[in-house]
Structure formats: structure tokens, C-alpha cells
Amino acid sequence: MNICTLEISIDGYELIDIVALDSNQLIGVCKLWLNDREILSECHLEGLFVAPSYRGRGYGKLIIDKVIQLSKDNGKDTIVLQVHETNSVARTLYASYGFIEYSDPDDRGLIDCYLRISEPH
Ligand SMILES: CC(C)(COP(=O)(O)OP(=O)(O)OC[C@H]1O[C@@H](n2cnc3c(N)ncnc32)[C@H](O)[C@@H]1OP(=O)(O)O)[C@@H](O)C(=O)NCCC(=O)NCCS
């Protein structure tokens, strides 16, 4: 399995597309936005997805490991994301990394989470 990244700068927005490949098969994706928030020390994880036939084999964790490394490499100290209240698999995954859920679900059922990465987790 390989994890590849594509750094994109578009009209002042900086993001990194992360793709996980098994041979030539795309098995997982994620986006890391570096500056779409007002707080410059934060970055925003969005769109984590592992192909259904590859789930439960640790690829989600490998992608998050990469996200954390990229966040540190870009001088960020906090990763933020939103997760749906019914998404128990993702909530368990994020909790295992120490993500803190800090809001009640909004009107779409989304909960805000953050992970501080300045200290070892
Ligand atoms: C969430 C998702 C990315 C996890 O990817 P994955 O490759 O299956 O995850 P991993 O195999 O690395 O598992 C990581 C952890 O997730 C949790 N997990 C995975 N599958 C689970 C299941 N069926 N039930 C409960 N928890 C589960 C566990 O905490 C697991 O850690 P463990 O193996 O040490 O117990 C994947 O299920 C997915 O793409 N879901 C649809 C899209 C989505 O919900 N994305 C998140 C949006 S916020």
C-alpha cells in the first residue's frame, strides 16, 4: 500500500489531497485543508473515505497517521473535523487518536472535533 499526496494551491486556499493505493487500485482518500479556517495553527481534515472492501484492515488509521504527519510538517498544532453523530465507526476511530468532541450535533447531526498534535498522543 502506498500513500500519495498532492499539494494544491487554488486562489489562496492550500490543501493536500491524500490518496491510498494498493497497486493501481484507489482504496482510500482524504483532504487536508491548511488554511480554510481563521485560526492559522489549525488544519481541517475532510472527506476521509476507505473503499468498503478494504475497511477494517487499518487503512483508515494509516491515512490519519499521514494526516497527522502532514499537519506537523506544515506547522499546525491542531486538526479539526466534523463527524456525524450516527457514524460510530468514525467516532471510535477518531476517539482512539484522542480527538475531542466539543459540540452538540448541529441541525445536520454533525459534531465538531479537534485533536491537539503539539504534544505526543
Ligand atoms: C471510517 C473509515 C474511514 C474507517 O476506515 P477503516 O480503514 O475501516 O479503519 P481501520 O481499519 O483503520 O480501523 C480503525 C478503527 O476504526 C474503528 N473501526 C473500524 N471498523 C469498525 C467497525 N466495523 N465497528 C466499530 N469500529 C470500527 C476501530 O476503532 C478501529 O480501530 P481498531 O482496529 O484498533 O479497533 C471507513 O469506515 C469509511 O470510509 N467509512 C465511510 C466514510 C466515513 O464515514 N468517513 C468518515 C467521515 S467523518
**What is the model's pLDDT at position 97?**
98
* Residue 11 CA to ligand 1 centre (angstroms): 33
Residue nearest to atom 29 of ligand 1 (CA): 93
Model pTM score? 0.94
Amino acid letter for position 24 = N
- Which domains, and CATH codes, for the chain? 2-116 (3.40.630.30)
Reference 29, options 59, 56, 50, 1; nearest CA is: 50
**What is the model's pLDDT at position 39?**
85
* pLDDT tens column, 48-61: 999 999 999 999 99
* Residue 90 CA to ligand 1 centre (angstroms): 5
Report the pLDDT averaged over residues 93-101.
98
Cβ(69) to ligand 1 under 6 A?
Answer: no
Strand bridging mode 25-33 / 13-22: antiparallel
Residue nearest to atom 16 of ligand 1 (CA): 93
